Amino acid sequence: MSNAATVSSTTPAILRLVSNVMRDGRPIADCPLIFGASARGRFVRHDDDAGKPLSTCAILERRAVTSAGTFGLGLIGSVVTAPSARGKGYAREVLEAAEQTLGEEGCAIAMLWADDAAFYQHLGWIPAGCELDYVLYPESAFFMPDPTHVRAATAQDSTAIHELYLAHPERLERSLEETVALLGTPKMQVVVEERDGVITAYACLGRGDDLEQVVHEWGGTNEALLACVRHFLDARGPEAGPLFLMVPPTRQALVHMLDLIKTPGTVGVLGMAKIVNRKAACQMLASVLPQGTSCRVVDETTVVEGPTGHIVLGDRELLLTLMPPKANPEVVEVVEASIGARIDALPFGPFVWGLDSI
């Protein structure tokens, strides 16, 4: 017999469970907003009758800024269950409680990064969003800008780095204090390019096991960014192998530069997502619909109406309209054909930079 899932702040018992399952007992320090001293995130937990957590996941409410508008995006991470408690549905219960909590707090969509995609797909999660992933080989460094002005970042650079982050048209809202905490992530390399006393770019390499060889967050001019990347490649040496660079699909000038140096790239998905507040997701769609069209929630569906007809969308179809995987336009085109109007602002193109993922 055990208790239903509840929401709490970080506790030593939760930290022990997460570190035992995810890090073989090693401390987890690569997500300060969840595990740090001033963590904003919370945990949904399923306890036994003695109050010991058997299964848990972290949740963090954010605001996603995109060219189509800003919306509430809930992040879910560190989904773990004690080995002795597996197979009893506790992870499902914890996830459902997390989805409900995020939805009640105004998040339209929740997102996570899955090791076992099949498990989450069975619970209604689907691939969503878009990112470009590039492979940076040591020999590519020859074609990149000179890194003479690149150096290791210091605490005094935090404000300039934060301002460069805020210049991204696709990002999660983040305070300066949060940026400072995230830049202190252990074992992460952060460099800046500085010219005439001005920070022109920054780049972050490595974060936890998942992003160990990845330049997962950066800001500034394209040339200065590539100088930072070359600094990383030169410092590692040719025997260290390639690095990987995460790029928002809207950075077409950077994409062109990477193509010129013949850096292999692939179109990937941003993560797995699920609508957790149908009304808020309907409002997202309504905010970009052209004049003469509308949408409304009817029972467990969203009805979109236009000059020549209407279409009824389930939550899965609504998500594929708002945030299709790899920016695939097929569902948007079906909606447009059904209602007789173009929706030029779609899809929403959120981008979660590496420091923000949980």
Whether 235 and 292 map to the same domain: the answer is no
> CA distances (Å), 86 to each of 57, 75, 340, in order?
14, 23, 49
Whether 261 and 279 map to the same domain: the answer is no
The model's pLDDT over 185-223, given as tens digits with 9 standing for 90+, comes to 988 999 999 999 999 999 999 998 889 999 999 999 999
As a whole number of angstroms, the distance between CA 221 and CA 229 comes to 12
Q: Which residues pair with 150 in a beta bridge?
A: 193
In a domain, 346, yes or no: no
CB atoms within 10 A of CB 348: 26
Instruction: State the pLDDT at residue 1.
Output: 35
Instruction: State the pLDDT at residue 24.
Output: 86
* Contact predicate 64/48, CB 8 Å: no
Whether 264 and 296 map to the same domain: the answer is no
Whether 140 and 179 map to the same domain: the answer is yes
In a domain, 260, yes or no: yes
Whether 140 and 251 map to the same domain: the answer is yes
Q: Which of 268, 295, 322 is the last residue of a domain?
A: 268
> CA distances (Å), 140 to each of 40, 133, 223, 307, in order?
40, 15, 14, 52
In a domain, 311, yes or no: yes
Peptide bond into 147 cis (omega under 30): no
The model's pLDDT over 36-77, given as tens digits with 9 standing for 90+, comes to 777 888 999 999 999 999 999 999 999 999 999 999 999 999
Whether 96 and 158 map to the same domain: the answer is no
In a domain, 350, yes or no: no
Whether 232 and 157 map to the same domain: the answer is yes
Indicate the angle between helix axes 330-339 and 315-322, nearest 10 degrees: 100
As a whole number of angstroms, the distance between CA 349 and CA 239 comes to 37
Q: Which of 234, 268, 302 is the last residue of a domain?
A: 268
Nearest 5°: the CA angle 95, 99, 105 is 145
Whether 152 and 79 map to the same domain: the answer is no
Q: Which of 253, 268, 283 is the last residue of a domain?
A: 268
Instruction: State the pLDDT at residue 3.
Output: 67
- Per-residue pLDDT 10s for the chain (358 aa) are 346 899 988 889 999 999 999 988 887 878 889 987 778 889 999 999 999 999 999 999 999 999 999 999 999 999 999 999 999 999 999 999 999 999 999 999 999 999 889 999 999 999 999 999 999 999 989 999 999 999 999 999 999 999 999 999 999 999 999 999 999 998 899 999 999 999 999 999 999 888 999 999 999 999 999 999 999 999 998 888 899 999 999 999 999 999 999 899 999 999 999 999 999 999 999 999 999 999 999 999 999 999 999 999 999 999 999 999 999 999 999 999 999 999 999 999 999 999 999 9
Instruction: State the pLDDT at residue 19.
Output: 92
Q: Which residues contact 128 (CB under 8 A, 6 or more apart)?
A: 109, 111, 269, 270, 271, 272, 273, 319, 320, 323, 324, 325
In a domain, 348, yes or no: no
* Contact predicate 66/350, CB 8 Å: yes
Whether 236 and 284 map to the same domain: the answer is no
Could you tell me whether strands 131-136 and 6-8 are parallel, antiparallel, or unpaired per DSSP bridges? unpaired
Instruction: State the pLDDT at residue 35.
Output: 87
Whether 232 and 256 map to the same domain: the answer is yes
Whether 261 and 286 map to the same domain: the answer is no
DSSP 307: S
- As for how many domains the chain has, the answer is 3
* Helix, strand, coil in percent for the chain, rounding step 5: 35, 30, 35
CATH number of the domain encompassing residue 198 = 3.40.630.30
In a domain, 43, yes or no: yes
Domain holding 92, by residue range, is 6-107
DSSP 17: H
Instruction: State the pLDDT at residue 228.
Output: 98
In a domain, 141, yes or no: yes
The owner of tokens 């149908």 is 278
Whether 292 and 239 map to the same domain: the answer is no
Nearest to 11 by CA among 1, 31, 41, 23: 41
Residue 268, helix vs strand vs coil: strand
In a domain, 28, yes or no: yes
